[in-house]
Amino acid sequence: METERYTTLAGELRHEIPKIKGSRFLATVAAVASDDEARALVDRVRKELHDARHHAWAYRVGPGAERFRWSDDGEPGGSAGKPILQALEGRDLTDSVAVVARWFGGTKLGVGGLVRAYGGAAAAALDLAPTRVVTRTHRIVLAYPYACSSPVKVLLDEFGLEPSDSSYAESVRLVVDVPLSRADAFAAAFIDRTAGRGTVTG
């Protein structure tokens, strides 16, 4: 079953947690729409914070977070990128990326300490960042004679829909984005209300 609604970040935020044994941990979290955007943000943070020793990161992309990656960026395996990813997973976020930069403070933290530091830095930033819920839609193109305008308007009002585009030539043509779970019901109701005189594509 396709995911109808999902949660993502509403923007970008940067947050630094208190130093841990002299090491600084600064997290940058942001909304992204693709793997390429996620990697581009990692590259940008790496350039902006070029004096940091490590830039561990993780991202989840896709309505069901079906694509995800992480990197420890030189830290011991599984001690940095994975806990950052788990911070994203724990908040059920997708289309989101988190990068944690570390400035080494001279004292080794051990794998357990790194897991807590990287995961904690990402979690702290994510808890401060605003989120938004996205409803997935299916784009439908409606075409119908002018005589059907009134029942179609009533139908759109019933479903709470506003056309994203329209044209008026020999017939009316509307482009409507319908929530996935209601797309089939809306198309069937449209055919019914127009007595089969309207067409649905998409």
Give the pLDDT of residue 3.
Answer: 62
As annotated, the residues of the chain forming the CATH 3.30.70.240 domain(s) are 136-201
Q: Assess if CATH 3.90.1530.10 describes domain 5-134.
A: no
pLDDT by residue (tens digit) across 91-101? 999 999 999 99
Residue 189 Cα distances to 12, 54, 120, 141, 193, angstroms: 41, 56, 50, 14, 6
Region 99-108: mean pLDDT is 95
Give the pLDDT of residue 1.
Answer: 40
Region 138-143: mean pLDDT is 94
Region 97-109: mean pLDDT is 96
State the Cα angle at 131 between 129 and 136, rounded to 5°.
Answer: 155
CATH topology of domain 136-201: Alpha-Beta Plaits (3.30.70)
Region 31-51: mean pLDDT is 97
